[in-house]
Amino acid sequence: MQEKGLAPNETIQLHEIMTIRNLSLTKIITMSPLVSDKELKNILKNNISASQQHIKELRGYLEQSMIAEPEQIK
């Protein structure tokens, strides 16, 4: 019978992706006040929303991990 959840290597890969997304989101949020172009501000705003949604989805997948504790994911 197969166990449900992610294998350890999948968990590590998802964690790496989540780290990159978090760093990207932090950079966008930090730099966005310096942007004066309205079109670029809209692009950044959309990117922030998309990044936040992706991070939520990644957290959901990480909760299925066989090696991660739920309190480590938050």
Q: State pTM to two decimals.
A: 0.74
For residue 5, give the 3-state DSSP assignment: coil
CA pair distance 15, 73, nearest whole angstrom? 9
Smallest CA-to-CA distance from 58 within 73, 43, 37 is with 73
Q: Domain coordinates of the chain in residue numbers?
A: 8-73
| Residue 16 CB-half CA count within 13 A | 6
Please provide the distance, in angstroms rounded to a whole number, between the alpha carbons at the two ends of the chain: 30
- With 90 as the cut, is the pLDDT of residue 8 above it? no
pLDDT for res 1? 38
- With 80 as the cut, is the pLDDT of residue 71 above it? no
| 12-51 pLDDT per residue, tens | 999 999 999 999 999 999 999 999 999 999 999 999 999 9
